[in-house]
Chains A and B, each alone.
Chain A
């Protein structure tokens, strides 16, 4: 039985367990902190920075910061909302995201968080970069245009599937996902049943022949905004 820790989020008292991160404790308490790279079951990557909260006056990523007795967390403030919008904008403009004909539309976490934060179009200029696509694999299609470098596939493939199919290469704005082969995904041992094939929050890792099995309009975030599944836990 781990020790109970009491702290506050936006003035609301929250009880969590020792060893939990702010995000985990908030999720259990039914408080939604927007996030993108985080995925339950994987080691928090802390790279998207969408879950940035103010802890005792200092910015921290809620997905990596452990809770501590009496800490004060600010989450739903106009300033943080603006910072989060700016980050989401950045993710849109650094890639090529074509929601209107992306097969992930409606199930896409990036799109869903953008809608939830009230973004209709990015305020920064698009970079329109040239990115690679890889359709060589019989069952999986890779499109780096839509990658947000969340690291989920890297970790899932390394730590869950024990295959190391994906890894980051390059640095800075040229950082990207590469595959464990000379060039093509078909030369890796990735299988459609792998965890790594199931974790992509956007339309980068797509399973072939499944795109429109669920029609647009009936998808995960078509009816309820992202985060409402967490908020429904609120007692």
Chain B
């Protein structure tokens, strides 16, 4: 075994040129092959790529899909996102436990199947859903769990699982997935029919600076949520000194409730790659990297196929489209289960084979990004928009949508609505109209922009979705009248606790505290001053956190406190006896009693 491990790891490391910066690919390959990256494997990898062993451990311990301890040949990851729970994930979880005879976090005695939870896997519109290795299984039910477990036990090969097929490219042999696209509304920009490669042709007929100017004139802003002007980002990257430049596409949508990039990657990958190529031309890059979240590994073969087709057609490679000296190619970097890697500097760290920690800014990626070179990181949808802008012109693009927010936005809509799915709608749409469109007019609350956005109530349904009012990367989750919003806020805090990288104090510790106070309130033990503490803590975390995660993670608490304060006030009460309601003297004494081997005679109950 040990000798086998040694030679196999040598082969894997060699396949990646024994390159320390390819650590993600190396450890992912080792994980896939051996079901773990063991202590011994870490030593071997460190020797091959010439780094410290503990660095390998640092990487492996950071990502949810990597593990030092052995996992089963089959790993079932049930999504426990808020929306999945609303759709019955808890019952599905119980069914898995029963059928497999193990709890979450455990592996069956024969070592073959591991059961785990995963945060949002981008399937909220077809929840409850699970990842079984790379396969996605949607619309889970307790009956379906029985069938799946029986099926798996026949072959322990998730690719052989019997399931119906989804629509569009999901049904393609190369994807062979039961995922549905769920495109509910096609708009003029992303899902409309378009003239393939016309944008790229037009771009190559211009100078790179002219391309940037067109994107600026169109007033394209980042679609990931932050809304930074794309043309400006390209200009900074182009203008920065560096012998090489890179364009990175952020395909790591992990915000709970977001799944729009899944659909683009399935149905509009060509448009995306066209947009990346245009961006590469504009900023002067020779290489682009698509960072694909580990949860979307089922799309990888399709994307590789499309990249190959583009190479065959000279849409990638040297002298693209006959444009002399424009050489550009795209590779795919797989993620491994870390929400934080959707933060652009964390994404760069991950591409460099490091822990997915955000980087210190300044320098910004445009100055010093991937491997220290000027880098532009753009969202999937943004790059698609760019391709359409170059095809149709800046004026066409800017005409659609609202004044401050041109064009359309893809919204991923899920939760308590009749028609969950992906909607391409013009910016400036009122929440009220959106709710009508998706069949959710009785909504108690709506989450706009995912948990890092805001939870609003009916008083705000006249507000509009755009950069100047309710900005969003695209996640919209609807909560019906019967939902417990404090519980939902607590579940979202649980998500941030799990996904904080732990680099900075306020995000690492503060989110745990917010969750604890919410749990205390939910247990009926909250006191009025806890609400003030929630507010104060939330503000401290927002103000002092190092990156966007911590700067927005208190939002589920702060926005429900602001918009649904009576819900909280009804749950807290004063304890005039001065006793702390959470203090349990028996529990506090337990350890000491055990050590002393006798019971307290005063505090008997």
Contact = CB atoms under 8 A, between A and B. Distances in A.
Interface of A: 44, 46-50, 52, 59, 61, 64-66, 82-83, 86-87, 90-91, 93-94, 123-125, 127, 148-149, 158, 164-175, 178-182
Contacts of A59: 543-544
Given A46-B546, A172-B499, 19 more contacts: A44-B360, A48-B504, A49-B505, A49-B506, A49-B545, A64-B360, A83-B543, A87-B505, A90-B510, A93-B513, A94-B512, A166-B54, A171-B61, A173-B497, A173-B509, A174-B502, A175-B503, A179-B54, A180-B54
A82 B509 contact: no
Contacts of B546: 46-47, 49, 61
B543 A52 contact: yes
Contacts of A165: 54
Interface in B70-90: none
Contacts of A123: 533
19 contacts: A46-B360, A47-B503, A48-B504, A52-B544, A82-B536, A86-B506, A86-B510, A91-B505, A94-B508, A127-B512, A164-B54, A169-B58, A171-B355, A171-B500, A171-B501, A172-B497, A174-B502, A180-B53, A180-B54
A180 B355 CA distance: 16
B513 A180 contact: no
For the complex of A and B, 7 pairs with smallest distance between CB atoms: A175-B502, A164-B52, A90-B509, A167-B54, A180-B54, A169-B61, A86-B540
A44 B19 CA distance: 27
Interface string B499-527: 11111111011101100100000000000
A104 B553 CA distance: 34
A171 B63 CA distance: 8
Nearest to B62: A171
B505 A175 contact: no
Contacts of B468: none
A86 B536 contact: yes
Contact of A91 (B39, B502, B509): B509
Contacts of A91: 505, 509
Contacts of A50: 505
B57 interface: yes
B55 interface: yes
B54, B57, B502 interface centre (most CB from chain A within 10 Å): B54
Contacts of B513: 90, 93, 124-125
Which of B340, B356, B510 has most A Cβ within 10 Å? B510
A171 B501 CA distance: 5
A167 B362 CA distance: 23
A167 B540 contact: no
Given A87-B540, A90-B509, A179-B54, A168 B355 contact: yes
B342 to A, nearest CB: 14
Contacts of A148: 505
B504 A171 contact: no
**Prevailing SS type, chain B contact patch:** helix
Given A64-B360, A66-B362, A182-B39, A170 B502 contact: yes
Given A52-B544, A59-B544, A47 B505 contact: yes
Nearest to B42: A182
B360 A173 contact: no
B502 A171 contact: yes
Contacts of B338: 171
B537 interface: yes
Contacts of B340: 171
Interface string B343-378: 000000000000110001110000000000000000
A167 B55 CA distance: 6
A37 to B, nearest CB: 9
Interface in B25-72: 39, 51-55, 57-58, 61-62
Nearest to A178: B54
A186 to B, nearest CB: 15
Contact of A87 (B361, B498, B533, B544): B544
A164 B51 CA distance: 9
Contacts of A86: 506, 510, 536-537, 540
Interface in B241-260: none
Nearest to A46: B360
Nearest to A54: B543
A50 B506 CA distance: 10
A203 B545 CA distance: 25
Contacts of A175: 501-503, 508
Interface string B188-200: 0000000000000
Contacts of A82: 536, 540
Contacts of A158: 52
A172 B540 contact: no
A87 B543 contact: no
A123 B53 CA distance: 39
A80 to B, nearest CB: 8
B86 to A, nearest CB: 25
Given A83-B540, A83-B544, A167-B57, A90 B506 contact: yes
Contacts of A167: 52, 54-55, 57-58
Nearest to B51: A164
Interface string B437-460: 000000000000000000000000
Contacts of B54: 164-167, 169, 178-181
A127 B516 CA distance: 10
A49 B544 contact: yes
B516 A149 contact: no
Given A87-B506, A180-B54, A125 B39 contact: no
Contacts of B61: 169-171
Contacts of B58: 167-169, 178
A93 B517 CA distance: 14
Contacts of A169: 54, 57-58, 61-62
Contacts of B57: 167, 169, 178
Contacts of B355: 168, 171
B501 A172 contact: yes
A66 B498 CA distance: 32
A87 B502 CA distance: 14
A157 B58 CA distance: 15
A87 B516 CA distance: 17
A204 to B, nearest CB: 15
A175 to B, nearest CB: 3
A46 B509 contact: no
Interface string B538-553: 0110011110000000
Which of A46, A50, A158 counts the most B-chain CB atoms under 10 A from its CB? Answer: A46
A25 B500 CA distance: 32
A21 to B, nearest CB: 10
Contacts of B510: 86, 90
A90 B536 CA distance: 13
Contacts of B545: 49
A150 B89 CA distance: 39
A72 to B, nearest CB: 17
A223 B245 CA distance: 54
Contacts of B504: 46-49
Contacts of B544: 49, 52, 59, 83, 87
Nearest to A66: B362
A169 B54 CA distance: 8
Given A49-B505, A59-B543, A83-B544, A172 B360 contact: no
Interface string B327-342: 0000000000010100
Contacts of B501: 171-172, 175
A86 B513 CA distance: 11
B354 to A, nearest CB: 11
